[in-house]
Amino acid sequence: MLIRTPKNWEIPESAVTPEDIYRLRNRRDFLKTLGLGAAGALFLRSGAFGATTGFPAAANPDYTGAGLKVTPYPLITSYNNFYEFGTDKGDPAKNAHTLRTRPWTVKFEGLVAKGEIHYYLGENTETFGGGTGSSAITSWVAAHFKSETVGGVTVYNLTEQK
């Protein structure tokens, strides 16, 4: 008789969500749930996506942050939780130079011409920092396609040329 002792990292079966609650037993249930989620996201107001939703608008006057040290610039610009370039937290900063970005083989214009991309969201340089590649794409899209502002975001319809 085999007596199995669970490892300390294993969770008990009683802690797992039962399949009847999970409800995604087949492809049809999955697609239905996906469709309902997408439909719900379309009808949410734009403020629902903000990271500050539910937080107070003003700083707490009782908390001044006195005695806190500013995090050093090299630490905040090199710390990474993604493991494309290694499994240690510092590996991506050391190994990112090995990523070959030129020549870049995908052409945005070609994907639009083939009808593979239908919409483009205008970049927000305050939020994303704006890179030279995305700025060039935004300039090209703005010159060639009609746009509409939805919830404060410029949406370009890549199926309707100017």
User: Is the residue at 134 inside a domain?
Assistant: yes
The total number of residues shown for the chain amounts to 162
| 120 closest CA partner among 100, 106, 140, 105 | 140
Confidence of residue 23 (pLDDT cuts 50, 70, 90): low
pTM of the model: 0.34
pLDDT tens digit sequence for 126-157: 444 444 456 778 888 889 999 888 877 888 89
User: Cβ distance 134 to 123 under 8 Å?
Assistant: yes
| DSSP per-residue string spanning 119-155 | EEEPP-HHHH---HHHHHHHHHHHHHEEEEEETTEEE
CA 24-30-36 angle, 5° bins: 115
User: Is the residue at 93 inside a domain?
Assistant: no
Domain count, the chain: 1
User: Is the residue at 33 inside a domain?
Assistant: no
User: Is the residue at 135 inside a domain?
Assistant: yes
Position of tokens 């040329």? 161
DSSP H/E element including 26: none
Position of tokens 């005695």? 67
